[in-house]
Structure formats: C-alpha cells, structure tokens
Structure 1
Amino acid sequence: MAVVEMTGISLIGPEEEVVALAAELLTLGNFEPVPLEFALERRPASLSSGGARIVTFQKNPYDELLDKLDYVWDAAGSELPEDLGCTRGAPSYSGEECVHRVAEVAHRIEDWKRRQEVLEEKREKLLAAGDFLDALAAADRSVEESLNTKFLSITFGRLSSENYKKLEEMSAVTPILVYPAASDKGYVLAIIFCAREYMEEAEKIFRSVYLKEYELAEIFEGAGPELAGRLKERRLDSERELRVLREAPRNYLERSRAEMEKLYCSVHSLQRVYALCQKRGELSGIFVLSGIIPAPTLEKVAGSVETLGPNTLLLAEEGRELRKRGRELPTLLKNNFLAKTFQEIVALYSLPSYGETDPSPLVALSFCLFFGFMFGDVGHGFLIAAGAWYLARRKILKKAFASVISIAGVSAMIFGLLYGSVFGSEEILPSLWTSPMKGVDDLIRTSLFVGVAFMSMGILINILALKRERKWGKMLFDGDGLAGLLFYWSAAGAAA
C-alpha cells in the first residue's frame, strides 16, 4: 500500500514496431508518454554531421473519427455506455478500416438527416397549403381563380422568423400584404399578396429577406374537388416517411450495436495509441518513443519488445536517476479495496509526490473510525449504506463515492452495535461497549487517546519521510520531527 516505483523507458526502432509496442503499452496500462526533448535533453536537435533532424507529430487524426462516432450515437438518441471496456485491448480494425467504416456510417446518418430536412420542409409546405386552401374555401374562391388573377400576384414561401418580422415592417410602406400560414423551429411559411405591376420590386425585397419561394401551381397541381384530400394524403405520406427516417439511426444502431461498439473501441484504442506516440520523434526513419511506466511492469514490457519489436532497442532508467536530473515523475497509488476507495478523497486535496508516503490507508482508517465514533447507530447506518447502494445502482452517484458512503454506513452500524443504539433508542439492543448517554467520560477519554495516537502517527510518518530524504537536521530538531514528537508526548503525558 504505497506509491508505486516508476521507471523511464525509451523505444527506438522502425515505425511499425514502435506503433505495435505502443498498442501493447496501452494494453498493459499506466504508460505516461513524455515529450521527446526529455529523452534527448542536453543534446542538439541535429544529431549528426549529415544534419538528421528530429521530426515530431502533433495532430491526432482519430479525434475527428471519435467525434463522428459520438455524432452517430447522438443522432440515434442514445449515449455511449460507460462500460465498453475500451481502455485496454488491441484494436479490432486497422486505421484504414476505421476511416472507411466511420465515413460510411457518418455518410449514411448525414443522408438520413438531409432527407429528413427535405421531408420536414415538404410537410410544412403541405400543411400551409392546406391552411391556404381552407382560407380560399371560406372566401368561396377556387384555386384557379386565385392563381390566375389579372392584377394580383400571390407568393408562397419560407423564411426565418427574424426576416419575417422585417418583411412585415416593409409591408407597412410597400404595396404588399403578408400573412403567416404556419411557423415551426424558427421559420415561417408566409403568403404574400402583391400587385403584378410592383412584382419586380417585390422580388428584390424577397431576396433581401432570403425568402425561399414555392410554386403554388406545383403544390395545387390538378386542382379540383379532391384537391384537399390529395393534399392531406401527401402530407400523411410525408409524415410516415419522416417517422421512418427519424427512427432510422436508432434502428440502425440497435441492429449493429455490437459492430458499432467494436468500431468505437477500435478508434478509441487507435486514438490512445496515437496519443502515446504523439510526442514520438522520427530520426532518419527511426522512431523514438519515451515515457514512464511502473517499475514492476518493466519485465513485461521487455518481453513485449522481444516478441513485437525484434529490431527495437529498449532503454530503461530508474526513477531515482530521473529525479536526480530534476524530472517530476507521475504518481501511481497501489492499495487494497478499502484504501483504494478513499484515493479520490486524497486526490481532492493533493496526490502524494513520487517518493512520498501514500496517506490513503490512514485516511480510510480515520474516516471509518471517526464517522462511526460520531454517528454510531445501527438504523441510521443501515439507511446510509442502503441509500448509497440504491443511488449507485441508479447511476446517480459514482461508484467510488457510493463506496465511501456505504463504508461509512457500515462503520456507523458497527459502532451502533457497540453503543446499543437503533434509531436513537438505546433500549432495543444491549450495548457491547458503552452508552453515549451514560458513558460520556469513557467516550471523552477514548477520543483524546485516539487523537494523540493519530497525531503521533502523522509526525512519525513525517520523520520517516525526512529520513528517506536524508534531511537529518529537520528529522531530529524540527517541530514535526523527533524533538516535536517527544515534546508532544511529554505535554500529553503531563496533561493526563
């Protein structure tokens, strides 16, 4: 239960071998790439008299593919499941296959979207045409009479709500009449009446407000007594097609979910592999990839190099040597389940630096002990633990946070048994230790003893850290060193 020792490595070899090894490092996990200049620090960029120079790579081409796949899930009205298992494992498809498959799926979604927009526009147009036809019927006028007037021109079109307001304002000072037929999603279908002699000027106004005109003769083709029925039938057909197109992305995703998830994981893995290689360098056709790994995994990495990179050179450097050169190493904590649960609480303050003591086990112990000591009750503890389990199952709480609350509830239940307390009542269960209401002196003495013990433990941990850093003066005479510990114990003993 401590901060894991780290080791620096560099892989130098052909491109195909270095990329394959990067994928294997991704599978092993906990590889932290570093910029190439750290691997070649204090060396010039030109490494030979021939002028071979380092070439680095920055843009990740798989970011765009991931965005497109996210768009596919959004179009289907679905969310990517969190437990796809993409964080580890080699990709199922090559980069070329991923590009081709993602482009094919994205094109299909875009085609459905374009057809849906066309059908929505057609449906709105037919709805407005129906309203227009009803208005003509109420005025006892036929379609032929309205379309073939001698002095009046009728324009039917679609424009944005903002531009419709501008058109209304213009109608106050120009010989046009504007009526809204329908409005939806920020657009208005309008019917505009204008004198034929003014039509040329009116068309300039229409262009200025970006009016998209629809041919009324085309909409009302074959006018007659059955026109209203035909318009309604065409509108219903459009709505049926719209429903099919709206459901198409979701249905496609349901039918191809396994393949789509495999594709997403492949792109995700390739994106991470490229991210690992993003700070790599090319030196006359030879690729260089550097990073930090946990020291215990070095043997596995060496085995992978023998298998996947027979022409690749592996260089390793111990963590303490890197620190001597001023390198800051990443922190990896390795703990059992109980302490690991509280690592996120430790991270809220700060992770220990490389070489320092991991406080997670002490945080876990003190949290459980203090929470149970202060809120010991069997009933309340059970409700806390059950509530955390329920909220985690409904995915309202994150698993790690729910585990902390559950452990707190269990601790409260254990101390509740020691206190004999159930929902505040001390008459239901016999106390196994003492009663909070009757044994106040015992509780005060215990709290003082536990406080002194934890303070002493903190000072002892600091003394050990100073010893590792060979800061002998601070270790012996600092207030948080040996002198401070002896003074603290003397004061506590005198007070007792």
Structure 2
Amino acid sequence: MARTTQMSLIELMTLSEDISNVVEYLGRKGSFQFQSKKHDFSADKGVKSVSNFDRDFLDNLQKARIFLNIDDLDSDVLVCARANDKDREEAARILNAVNDLSDRYLKQTDEVTRVKNAYKEAMAFANLKVPYTELEHLSFLSLRIGRIPAENIDNLRFAVGNSAVIIPLGNDSSRIMAATSKKGRFALDTELKRFGFVNMEIPKDFEGIPEDVIESLKNQVIESEALLRHLDEERSNFADTHTDSIHHLLAAFSVGAQVFDIQNSLESTSMVYRLTGWIPSQETAVFMKELDELTEGRIAIREYLPTEVPSVIAGEEQVPVKLKHGKFISSFERMIFSYGSPLYGTIDPTPFVAVFFTVLFGIMFGDCGQGLVFLLMGILMAAKVIKVGGWNKFAPIFMAIGVSSSIMGLITGEFFTNETLLEPFAMWVTGLFGEPHAPILKVMPSSDPNSVKVIFGIFGMTIGLGFIINSIGLVINIINKMTQKKWGSALFGKIGLAGTVFFWYVVIFALRVAFFKHVPSAADWVIIGITLFFAAFGEPFERLLNGERPVIENGIGAMVIGGVVELIEVISNYLSSSISFVRVGAFALAHAVLGFIIHMMAERSGIIGGALVMIIGNAVVVVLEGMIVAIQVIRLQYYEFFSKFFNETGSEFKPLQFHYGNK
C-alpha cells in the first residue's frame, strides 16, 4: 500500500554572500519546509529590524499600478527571479515618471474642481438683475446668501412668514438669498441656522453683469477639463507602454522582498547562515547537487533521517507529511487534509477516498445527461475556459463524478430525467445476456412486484459497499498501528483486530443464517463472545502490550464500567456504520423520483412550458442536489471511513513557496 512520502532533514551552512541565492533557490524549488516553527517571514515580524527596500519598491509599484489602472498581476511569481540592480533602476525611472504624472494629474483635478465650484457659485446668482456689490450696501435690507438643503426651502419660507423674503438662486434650489429688514436680521439668522443654512462666499471676481462672469467661468471649466482629459490620455498611454515592465517588476520585487524577510530571520553569524528543514528524501541528491553548483562549492550540507533527529525521537516534533500522487488522485488531497493529516509513515488514504467518492457520488446521482454536465464543467475548468479561483484544481473531481454519474445514468436509463432516450442502448445491452428490456436497472418504484426486490437489492448493495469501506478503514488502522509498533492498539479495542474480526464474523454469520439457513453453533457464539470481549474490554491488554503502566489505570471497578459502556458502543457503532450507507440507496431512489416528477411536469406543460420546466428542473437538480450529494458522500467518508484510522493526526508538509504581494 502507498505510504506518505519519506522525508529527510537537511542542514545547510552557507556563506553570507550566497544566502540570498540559496533562499531564492529554496523558495522557487517549493520543496523545503523550515524545521523550526518560530520562522515567521511576514514583513512586520522579522527578527532583525532592517529596512526592506525591495518591499518599499513593491508597495510603491502597487500604488503606481493602481494609479495607472493596470490589472493586478495574475501569474505565478515562482517563474520570476528576485529583483536585481537593473530592476531597481528601471523601477526608480518608472516611479519618478508616474509620480510626476500623478502630481500633475492631481493638481489639474483640483483645478477642475475649483473652477467648476466657482462656476456653480456664479450660476447661483443668475437670477440677480443687478450687481451684488450694489445690493450689499443697501441701508434698509439685510441679505444672506448661501446653501441650504433643497427639501428645507418650503419649511423655511413657512417659518419666516412675512418677515423675510427667500429667493432661490440657480436651478437646483440649494442656493438662496434671504432678505429681511435690518431689525429682523437676528431672527432670520436663527431660522436659517435651524434649517441647515451655510453662508456662501461670493466669488472674488464677481463684478459687473452676472452673465459676463458666468461665460468667463464656463470657458475656464471647458479649458481645465480639456487639460485633464489630455493628462488622462497621457496616463493611459503610459500604462499601455509599461504594463509588461510593471508586471515583471511587481513579481521580481515580491520575490526579493520575501527573500529579504526570510534571510533577515535566519540564525547567522557575521559570515555564515544556518538553515535546517525537511525535504522529500528522493529529492535530496538533486538538492545537494544544485545547491553545490549554485554556490560554487561554498556550502556544507548534512542529511538526517527522521530516526536520527532528537526532537522527533523525543516526540517534540512531528515529521511533516507529504502525499505524492498523479493529477487525478492529488485533487482529492484537500479532502484528506481538511479532516486531518495522516501520521508520517502511515498508509496514504487518498487513493481510497478518490475511488469511494467517485463511486458513491455516481450511485446517488445517476443521470447520464446531468453527469455529462459535470464532465464538461471539469474539462472546461481544466482548460481554464471556466475560471473559478482555487476551484480549478478540483477539475479532475468534476470529470470523475461526471463519468460515474453518466455510467449510472446509462444503467438506470435516465438522460436529463428522460427515461426513453436511452432505451435503445438498454435493449442492446440486455439483449446480449437474454431477453431485451429497458432500463438495464429500474430504480423508479412502480406497481411491478419486481420493483420492490430491485429497491431492496439497491439497499443491500449499498450496505455491502459500506461493509467494504468500513473494512478497509479498519485494515488501514491495524496496519498503521503495527507500523508504529503499537501492538496493543493494533490487536485490541473496537477498531483493532479484535473489533474487526467481531465485525466481519457477525456479518458473515448473519449472511449464513439469512441466505444459507445455517443453524448457529456453539463455536459461532464463542468466537463472537471472545472477539466482542477483547473489543470492549481491551484497554488493559492494550496498555500491557504498549508498555504503559499501570495496566489497570483507574481500578477494576472503573475498568468494568468502562468495558460495559464500550460493549454498547462497539455494537451500536458497527450497526450504525453499516446502516448509515442505506442513505446511498435512498438518495439514488430520491434522484430517480425527482427526475420522474420533472419529466411528468414537462410533459403536461406544452412545448414551450415543457422546455422551460426541463431546463430549470435539470439546472436545479445539478446545482442543489449535486451539492447535497457531495456533502453526503463527504460525511460518509469522514464519519464511517476516516474515523476508523484517523485517531491521531500528523503535520502537513508546507514548504517554503513564494507568493505574490504582501499577503
């Protein structure tokens, strides 16, 4: 059976002149995990407080990119080398040009805003028929000119009554002139303040006839907006000619900044740096050769097996776990690590998960047409025609469940809920083995007496599949415990050999009695009793073989009580683990019934209505039922498969890899 990848610890001693190249090599290689968890390479958590000039360049380039409206970098920075002196010169040149353009653009934007505001202010006086300089010297009137929320004007007029006159200025009713007698100016100010009035400065150059001023300001607005458009074109042209350079520099400085942060946190003297970390053992020779060539021999490398590492021997450190698979199996790895990491050196469950997930999904979601939708989605995701972020890496899963659902659909005769289109295929296949009939396997309940037998047959098949899945989980656990030399845990307990034999024997015993009419013998009850005893009361025996003392930890009374509770747990656990897989058959039946309902509704809705029902119905089934079935399959694997051997978790291998940006 496949096991987790064998790992080695390597120690690197390199000169300070080579450390940047070594760190860059490790990050680009993506197969080296630092041994100590204390390493935190984020920008604000470096061990030494030293300015990271590459990160400063990166931050400024990001600001320049945003100003130039250039799309952010979407490529993998691993393909880019860290920034060099030539890159820094190019970045400085671009940043100087962008800063100059940005300053001019911001100044012109402010100028456009200022001129527009002046124009709007002047427009507020369009209703005045005499120059304001004459009005403000009136001896019998007190005038107030300013802004007020437009919805408050009517209320203001009602409040001041006949004591003041309110004159709208402009077309938007948000600027007004209020006039009252000199005696009533204080009462007017009070009311104006209550309704949100704000005094407005009269433009300094507002002299003479208002129309003259308005025309002059209008021309200034046109000229300033034209200059701003010219700068906008200049910005767009600059962006077009420098996009590739800026993207390259963003990637280069992103790598450079991370190299600096890592280097700044390493254990070192003034001349030598020390790095220790885990790598896959099969890559050790390549690492040594390439690092030796990179540093021209100025590096010392030592390799240690996990059994030679003191912290691992003492149980203070776990060897990181790396799983190695092809593209299809690797797409299921996140399903494993979302539950927990296997222990180092144990059996890798990913291939089993890939097979079980694909088969169980296909059984529960049997429709050839809907399965082809998943298959097509997977193909388009793999080709990156459909981009859904991190979900694209799961394209092989979509293709796998698409194939399994389509095969199940061919067997049950469903094609987008239609049960007649695949009849010729079913007749041809069944004709090869006897009398032709369609579908090959009729899942839909009917008045036919045989349909009940088929339904119970489906439930029996899914329980049998559950037996296989449970058994494989138990075997994995036993092998893992033996590998770890935990003989007690391997032999005793409900998921040890005793519990496994009890489970298997009871299943075989039930099948013999049910189908072969065997009469239970004394030997049957003896075997069941002994295996059940060691499964339920196995803790003292586990502790004895595992070398744990005392053997009976909390006294005989506690041991008996715990054993009785465990006895109930063993029986209920194996019973529920088996019955739980009935849901697979139930979902297969539910899927068939739902497809039948959609098809019947379509037939009774006319041509156009029927087409809409088929499209919407199948879309709902693919999205909603597809999600529900996926959740149920994951649940079955988590609770009925993983729970058999995931009683301890390891540490996932997370190698040093460069990423883009400041994350």
TM-score of the superposed pair, with normalisation by structure 2: 0.58
1:24–1:90 contact (8 Å) kept in structure 2: no
Displacement, 1:189?
11
Q: Residue 206 of structure 1 aligns with which residue?
A: none
- Which one of the candidate residues 127, 133, 138 is aligned to 2:127? 138
CA gap of 1:129–1:56, structure 2 versus 1, over 3 A, is: closer
Displacement, 1:364?
1.1
Q: Residue 265 of structure 1 aligns with which residue?
A: 251
Aligned 1:476-495 pairs, distance under 5 A: 476-495=491-510
CA gap of 1:127–1:367, structure 2 versus 1, over 3 A, is: same
- Corresponding position: 1:312 with 2:299: yes
CA distance in 1, matches of 2:274, 2:178: 69
Q: Residue 350 of structure 1 aligns with which residue?
A: 340
- Corresponding position: 1:67 with 2:59: yes
Q: Residue 440 of structure 1 aligns with which residue?
A: 455
1:2–1:335 contact (8 Å) kept in structure 2: no
Aligned AA for 1:482?
L
Deviations 1:233-252 (A, max 9, x none): 22122223333444655543
Displacement, 1:413?
0.7
Q: Residue 366 of structure 2 aligns with which residue?
A: 376
Deviations 1:311-353 (A, max 9, x none): 2211222233332243233332211122111112223222324
1:26–1:89 contact (8 Å) kept in structure 2: no
CA distance in 2, matches of 1:306, 1:377: 57
Q: Residue 413 of structure 1 aligns with which residue?
A: 406
- Which one of the candidate residues 225, 230, 255 is aligned to 2:241? 255
1:377–1:413 contact (8 Å) kept in structure 2: yes
Q: Residue 281 of structure 1 aligns with which residue?
A: 267
1:33–1:276 contact (8 Å) kept in structure 2: no
- Corresponding position: 1:80 with 2:67: no
Q: Computing the radius of gyration over CA atoms, which structure comes out larger, 1 or 2?
A: 2
Aligned AA for 1:321?
E
- Corresponding position: 1:6 with 2:7: yes
CA gap of 1:337–1:118, structure 2 versus 1, over 3 A, is: same
TM-score of the superposed pair, with normalisation by structure 1: 0.75
CA distance in 2, matches of 1:448, 1:260: 60
Q: Residue 115 of structure 1 aligns with which residue?
A: 104
CA gap of 1:230–1:427, structure 2 versus 1, over 3 A, is: same
Q: Residue 322 of structure 2 aligns with which residue?
A: 332
Paired residues, number: 443
Q: Residue 164 of structure 1 aligns with which residue?
A: none
Q: More relative contact order in 1 or in 2 (CA 8 Å, sep 6+)?
A: 1
Displacement, 1:68?
2.9
Deviations 1:257-299 (A, max 9, x none): 2211211121122133234424312224222222222222211
Displacement over 6 Å in runs of 4+: 146-158, 179-183, 188-193, 221-225
CA distance in 2, matches of 1:250, 1:10: 51
CA distance in 2, matches of 1:155, 1:112: 42
- Three-state SS of the structure 2 residue aligned to 1:349 is coil
CA gap of 1:37–1:435, structure 2 versus 1, over 3 A, is: closer
Displacement, 1:182?
12
Aligned AA for 1:265?
A
- Three-state SS of the structure 2 residue aligned to 1:423 is coil
2:73–2:250 contact (8 Å) kept in structure 1: no
Q: Which structure: greater strand fraction? A: 1
Q: Residue 426 of structure 1 aligns with which residue?
A: 419
Deviations 1:31-59 (A, max 9, x none): 22344989xxxxxxxxxxxxxxxx95466
2:125–2:169 contact (8 Å) kept in structure 1: no
Which shifted more, 406-415 or 483-492? Answer: 406-415
CA distance in 2, matches of 1:273, 1:329: 25
Deviations 1:199-241 (A, max 9, x none): xxxxxxxxxxxx9x99944x66999975433322221222233
CA gap of 1:236–1:321, structure 2 versus 1, over 3 A, is: farther
- Which one of the candidate residues 387, 406, 409 is aligned to 1:395? 387
Q: Residue 648 of structure 2 aligns with which residue?
A: none
Which shifted more, 63-72 or 17-26? Answer: 63-72
1:19–1:273 contact (8 Å) kept in structure 2: yes
CA distance in 1, matches of 2:105, 2:145: 22
Aligned AA for 1:87?
L
Deviations 1:117-163 (A, max 9, x none): 332332222223223333334212347768999999999999xx9xx
Aligned AA for 2:257?
Q
Displacement, 1:461?
0.9
Deviations 1:353-399 (A, max 9, x none): 43333322111111100000111110121233345666763424520
Unaligned residue ranges in structure 1 (runs of 5+): 39-54, 162-176, 196-210
2:7–2:281 contact (8 Å) kept in structure 1: yes
CA distance in 2, matches of 1:74, 1:189: 37
